[in-house]
Structure formats: structure tokens, C-alpha cells
């Protein structure tokens, strides 16, 4: 008999782009309705590198939160070649910086100020390891000689594996993994390495980018890979392994910026993310493992308590909105206009 409802501890989203200004005000409610906490990405312009910037951004997020929603933003610091380990430690001890985010320079949206050489950040990473502070990694090389579909696997070989050997005690989250190589690497590593998986990488492969023409709203970084990789991600997410947990990487851009020449990378998954995850677990006949993936594995890795509040999802078809209006222009959600099977009960 098919399960018609799921009750679980309220989940957290361990990878969110809330942007700022008009976009922040429009997209925050979608994340806050489903998730109690979220790791907030620091790739604003200018990036969030210091405590003052993180505190100011946190205040703007809380000011944009609709009344009646209980939501805690978990702030992160943007790692650069000249990041100050003392500033990172002060932010950590003050309870402001939950983690530090590593973007290889020019790897994705607003990453121009990112890391050009991992060796330049060793002083910061060594301090983080001593503090038990997680490093969140966008795992792609940016070498133009490397095929875009191979950049995650090459990053693991060239950057992540050597870093793990140098600092095995450093807690690392390999974010938004897209390949079987990433799954294998995380599974074979010690408990100081974990990974997040997005709803879109569980649902689409690279064919979605070219279905009947060029589909800019299916373009994200890391880009979706072959079907064999998508299936590997689904197996990992639904396996029950504590090494994998929920991180939507919801990344809104106005439709005009997605559909222009040299359009932006990013998929706006927040309007239906939790429901889409539930659908994947239902399809894989693994609903009994959904609470661990969505609500328990992430807090355990970050050393935080799981949420006590509970939520319920029901098997109740509904349609993802075609667009979301904002003062910066309309957004198109992931799977806009499509019917999905699960719905969060209010």
C-alpha cells in the first residue's frame, strides 16, 4: 500500500543562495516555509568575507522574513587567497560563522574573488581544523583545458584528495555533488567528509539542457551529468548513509538573466524542493530513510541539534508556479508549471 503522508522532524537546507535586496525578499519565504535553518552562501557582491558583512547580511535576512515563520540563517564566510584566520576564528567563536565556503576563482556565479591556489589558504584551513569548523567546497577545477563535464572528478583528484591527506581532521562538505566519482570518494572517506545533493541533480541529467532546444533554466554549476551519474546520486541519497544530506543549492536569477546571451548558472528549486526530494525517496521506495537525509544527517555533521518541531508531507498533487514575481524581474522555478506528487501541509 502506498504511503499517503510522511511525518518527520523539520528539515534544514544546508546550501542556499538567498541573494539580496528585492530577490532576497521574494525568495526567502519559500525556504523559510520548509526549513528551520539554512546555510547561507556568501557570494554576494562584494562577497561576505568579514564578520561585519555577515552580521549585516544576517540582519537583512531576518528583516525580510515574513511574520509567523521560524527560520534561522546560518552564516558563512567567503574564502579568498588573503582570508584572515584570526577573523575566521573570531567569527566562529562569536557564533556568527557556521562554516567557510571555498569557491575556486571563476568557477560559478560571483566567484571572481575566490581561491586561485588552495595552498594560499592553508593557514586558514589549519585554523579551521583546530576549531572543528566545516569547509564547504564547490568542487570543480576551472582549468579551461578540462571538459566541463569532468571538472568535478578532476577537482577530487587534483585538489580534494591532496587536501584530505594534508588535513584529514578538517571537516569538509563536498557540495552539490554530481558524479559517481564524488559518491565513491565520499563513501570511502572518513567521517570528516560528507556531501550535499540537490533535488535537480536527482531528477535531471544533461539531456535536460538540450530537450527540444537549449534550456537555460536547466543550466546550473556543476552542470548535470550523464544518466549513470544521476542514478548514482539517487542511490547515495536514499542509501541511509549518514554521509549524504539535503542541500538544495537553490540559486535564483531573473528570467531575463537566465535567457540572455551568456545566461547565468543556477536553478531556483526552493518553491518545491522539499516536495521533490520526497518524491524521489518515494520512487526509490525509501521513504523510511527520508527523515535521516532531510533532518538528521546534516545537523549531526555540523554538530548541531536536530529540530524538535515536526512537519507533514502529503501525497497531494499540485503544480509548481510558472513564475515568481520580484521587483528585480520574474523568476522561473525548477519544473515550472509541472505537477508534482507531494505537498507540504500548512
- Give the C-alpha separation, 227 to 233, whole Å: 10
| Paired residues of 245 in beta bridges | 196
Cell of 9: 522532524
Alpha-carbon distance of 137 to 107, in angstroms, equals 11
CA distances from 312 to 9, 295, 309, 345 (A): 9, 13, 11, 6
Cα distance between residue 268 and residue 336, in whole Å: 10
Kindly report the CA angle at 108 between 103 and 109, in degrees rounded to 5? 105
Is 249 designated active site? yes
- Grid cell in block for residue 29: 519565504
State how far the alpha carbon of 120 is from the alpha carbons of 86, 196, 209, in Å: 15, 26, 36
Among candidate residues 44, 148, 133, the one with its CA nearest the CA of residue 91: 133
Distance CA 336, CA 346 (A): 21
Nine-digit cell string for 41: 552562501
| Of 4, 13, 117, 249, catalytic | 249
Quote the distance between the C-alpha of residue 137 and its chain's center. Answer: 10
Q: Report the catalytic residues.
A: 249
Amino acid at each position: 500500500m502506498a504511503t499517503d503522508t510522511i511525518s518527520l522532524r523539520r528539515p534544514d537546507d544546508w546550501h542556499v543562495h538567498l541573494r539580496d535586496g528585492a530577490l532576497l525578499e521574494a525568495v526567502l519565504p519559500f525556504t523559510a516555509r520548509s526549513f528551520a535553518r539554512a546555510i547561507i552562501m556568501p557570494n554576494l557582491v562584494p562577497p561576505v568575507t568579514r564578520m561585519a558583512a555577515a552580521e549585516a547580511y544576517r540582519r537583512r535576512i531576518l528583516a525580510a522574513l515574513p511574520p509567523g515563520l521560524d527560520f534561522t540563517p546560518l552564516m558563512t564566510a567567503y574564502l579568498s587567497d588573503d582570508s584572515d584566520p584570526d577573523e575566521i576564528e573570531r567569527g566562529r567563536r562569536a557564533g556568527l560563522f557556521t562554516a567557510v565556503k571555498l569557491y575556486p576563482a571563476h568557477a560559478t556565479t560571483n566567484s571572481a574573488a575566490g581561491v586561485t591556489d588552495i595552498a594560499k589558504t592553508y593557514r586558514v584551513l589549519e585554523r579551521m581544523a583546530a576549531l572543528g569548523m566545516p569547509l564547504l567546497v564547490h568542487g570543480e577545477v576551472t582549468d579551461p583545458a578540462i571538459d566541463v563535464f569532468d571538472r568535478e572528478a578532476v577537482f577530487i583528484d587534483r585538489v580534494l584528495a591532496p587536501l584530505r591527506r594534508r588535513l584529514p581532521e578538517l571537516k569538509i562538505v563536498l557540495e552539490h555533488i554530481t558524479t559517481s566519482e564524488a559518491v565513491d570518494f565520499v563513501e570511502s572517506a572518513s567521517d570528516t567528509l560528507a556531501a550535499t545533493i540537490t533535488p535537480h541533480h536527482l531528477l535531471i541529467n544533461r539531456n535536460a539542457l538540450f530537450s527540444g532546444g537549449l534550456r537555460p533554466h536547466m543550466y546550473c554549476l556543476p552542470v548535470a551529468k550523464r544518466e549513470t551519474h544521476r542514478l548514482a546520486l539517487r542511490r547515495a541519497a536514499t542509501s541511509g548513509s549518514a554521509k549524504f544530506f539535503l542541500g538544495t543549492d537553490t540559486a535564483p536569477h531573473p528570467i531575463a538573466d537566465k535567457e540572455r546571451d551568456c545566461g547565468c548558472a543556477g536553478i531556483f528549486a526552493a518553491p518545491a524542493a522539499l516536495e521533490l526530494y520526497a518524491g524521489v525517496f518515494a520512487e526509490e521506495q525509501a521513504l523510511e530513510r527520508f527523515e535521516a537525509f532531510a533532518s538528521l544527517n546534516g545537523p549531526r555533521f555540523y554538530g548541531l541539534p536536530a529540530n524538535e518541531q515536526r512537519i507533514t508531507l502529503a501525497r497531494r498533487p499540485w503544480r509548481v508556479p510558472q513564475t515568481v514575481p520580484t521587483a528585480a524581474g520574474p523568476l522561473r522555478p525548477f519544473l515550472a508549471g509541472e505537477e508534482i506528487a507531494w505537498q507540504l501541509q500548512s
